[in-house]
Amino acid sequence: MKKILSLLGFFSCIGLTNAQHSDSVVFSKIYSEILVNAKAYDWLRTLSYDVGHRLSGSPGAEKAVLFTEKMFRDAGADTVWLQEVMVPHWVRGEKEEAKIIDSRKNAQAVPVLALGRSVATPKEGITADVIEVYDFAQLKKLGEENIKGKIVFFNHPFDESHVNTFAAYSKAGKYRWAGPSEAARYGAVATICRSMTNVQDDYPHTGAMGYNDSLPKIPCAAISTNAANLLSRILKADPKVQFYLKMNCQTLDSVKSYNVIAEITGTEFPEEFISVGGHLDSWDVGHGAHDDGAGVVQGIEVIRTFKALKLQPKRSIRAVAWMNEENGVMGGKVYAEDALLKKENHIAAIESDAGASSPYGFGLDMSETQRNKVKEWAPLFTRYLVWNFDFEHGGTDIEPLKKHLGTPLFGLIVDSQRYFDYHHAASDTVYKINKRELHLGAAAMTAMAYLLSQYGL
């Protein structure tokens, strides 16, 4: 494209009420401040490089708490504190091993990651026949006679036909979460599952699974999409193929960790709280940059921006870095339970936990009346390309606030095309994040926090 386009000035005042014009001026200041001066990307780089991944209970998570506390202070918050949270402590142990062994005993190593919460294999590993399964219906049909003693290979590819990749994740994800117990029901000795991603590459994508306590707990792991395709191909030609899996992950005693919280106190209604942020923990590979370092640095960027612009919120705004979203949501639970205990009035919560791509809306998990009020604000956001208020998901860390206090929830909605390329994999690094896209998310959150702080809900 050669032409110098004039795309300026569109939407400038379309659909705004008179009362919204002054908010429109504030929006403009917020977006300019963030697009030009935001620190979120620099903070995320530090969180990615100097801290790295940070699974709950790990040394990385401990380091992350300290760094985040410092970052929150640097942002100029009125108060910064740590909130104690007991978190589960699952460790991967030594690097896992996996091999495809054909009927001639040729072994081919494939990249593998134990699923979070999995039990270990016996020390010498498990070698067993493999049976490929597309879904639970097929698993049931095969039954114990075909499954007993085998490794079940859940090969349920992402359904590419959905525009929103979360829809594909929703369909495939249950084989990661519930697949191991369902396979154990028919006597399987382990499960491997195809990674939850659109891309064909060599990265296994881990993630939490949940055992059904009434069934035997069997080891479970993810293999990359390339390895899944390879295994499926080999199985078709050689049904006697075996799989070797060795993992020594384990769940240790719970340990003390923290949510990190920064607050600007409201000028008129200091006892009404708006929480914004994401989760500080990540899986134990890569940088946890999209998931969810992004949400953490966007949350604190809200505070920095209020201070930089000398915006005085009528209600108190808290940036929160919740601990342990990935395998327990203990941070979110403690945050809400503590608020309940203290009878705090949490009037809204905003979470960013869908990656750092360009934002285009907010999911609204709240009453119809509240949703309609928020939709009246939509024209203020349109010129910033934030237009969609039709989804209804808030966020995992803020759900307990709704459950215990009835707090209305906002989930930042961003372009989903690239998210699962990196999600829960070693490839989720800060290199995969575009600075401006990250900052646009922070700006949308700041703008929404501003309206909530002025008008409540």
Residue among 418, 428, 451, 452 that touches a copy of itself (CB under 8 A): 418
Contact partners, residue 345, CB within 8 Å, separation at least 6: 271, 272, 273, 405
Closer residue to a copy of itself in complex, CB, 150/432: 432
**Shortest approach of a copy of itself to residue 232 CB, angstroms?**
18
Closer residue to a copy of itself in complex, CB, 70/435: 435
**Shortest approach of a copy of itself to residue 242 CB, angstroms?**
31
- Strand pairing report for 409-414 and 345-351: parallel
Assess 368 for contact with a copy of itself (CB under 8 A).
no
Assess 410 for contact with a copy of itself (CB under 8 A).
no
Q: Which among 422, 352, 359 has a CA at the least distance from the CA of 393?
A: 352
Q: What is the spatial distance between Cα 27 and Cα 103, in angstroms, rounded to a whole number?
A: 65
Active-site amino acid positions: 325
Q: Which two tokens stand for residue 421?
A: 């390329």
Residue among 316, 327, 407, 427 that touches a copy of itself (CB under 8 A): 327
Residue among 153, 203, 306, 360 that touches a copy of itself (CB under 8 A): 360
Q: Which two tokens stand for residue 386?
A: 């934030």
Residue among 136, 211, 377, 387 that touches a copy of itself (CB under 8 A): 387
Assess 237 for contact with a copy of itself (CB under 8 A).
no
Closer residue to a copy of itself in complex, CB, 244/384: 384
Please report the beta strands in 79-170, taking only residues with DSSP state E, as ranges in sequence order.
79-91, 97-101, 107-109, 112-114, 126-133, 151-154
Footprint of a copy of itself on 59-118 (CB under 8 A)? none
Q: What is the spatial distance between Cα 292 and Cα 278, in angstroms, rounded to a whole number?
A: 6
Q: What is the spatial distance between Cα 40 and Cα 182, in angstroms, rounded to a whole number?
A: 42
Q: Which among 331, 371, 352, 366 has a CA at the least distance from the CA of 414?
A: 352
**Shortest approach of a copy of itself to residue 197 CB, angstroms?**
11
**Shortest approach of a copy of itself to residue 97 CB, angstroms?**
26
Footprint of a copy of itself on 157-196 (CB under 8 A)? 160-167, 169-170, 173-174, 177
Q: Is 156 helix (H, G, I), strand (E, B) or coil?
A: coil
User: Do the Cβ atoms of 91 and 249 come closer than 8 Å?
Assistant: yes
Residue among 13, 15, 21, 32 that touches a copy of itself (CB under 8 A): 32
Residue among 146, 251, 265, 396 that touches a copy of itself (CB under 8 A): 396
Assess 423 for contact with a copy of itself (CB under 8 A).
yes
Assess 213 for contact with a copy of itself (CB under 8 A).
no
Residue among 440, 445, 447, 457 that touches a copy of itself (CB under 8 A): 440
Footprint of a copy of itself on 257-296 (CB under 8 A)? 291-292
Q: Which two tokens stand for residue 450?
A: 């501003």
Assess 36 for contact with a copy of itself (CB under 8 A).
yes
Residue the block writes with tokens 């760094």: 67
Q: Which stretch binds a copy of itself (CB under 8 A): 182-190, 214-222, 310-318, 390-398?
A: 390-398
Q: Which two tokens stand for residue 69?
A: 């506390």
The letter for the amino acid at 376 is E
Closer residue to a copy of itself in complex, CB, 160/253: 160
Q: What is the spatial distance between Cα 68 and Cα 44, in angstroms, rounded to a whole number?
A: 10
Q: CA quadruple 221, 222, 223, 229: dihedral positive or negative?
A: positive
Q: Which stretch binds a copy of itself (CB under 8 A): 9-17, 58-66, 147-155, 341-349?
A: 9-17
Q: What is the spatial distance between Cα 353 and Cα 358, in angstroms, rounded to a whole number?
A: 13
Assess 7 for contact with a copy of itself (CB under 8 A).
yes
- Strand pairing report for 97-101 and 107-109: antiparallel
Q: What is the spatial distance between Cα 227 and Cα 190, in angstroms, rounded to a whole number?
A: 17
Number of residues that bind a copy of itself (CB under 8 A): 62
Number of H helices, E strands in the chain: 14, 15
Residue among 326, 410, 450, 457 that touches a copy of itself (CB under 8 A): 326
Bridge partners of 363? Answer: 411
User: Do the Cβ atoms of 322 and 335 come closer than 8 Å?
Assistant: yes
Closer residue to a copy of itself in complex, CB, 426/444: 444
The residue ranges that bind a copy of itself (CB under 8 A) are 1-8, 10-11, 14, 31-32, 35-36, 160-167, 169-170, 173-174, 177, 198, 207-208, 291-292, 325-327, 329, 353-355, 358, 360, 363, 383-385, 387-388, 390-391, 393, 396, 415, 417-418, 421, 423, 434-437, 440
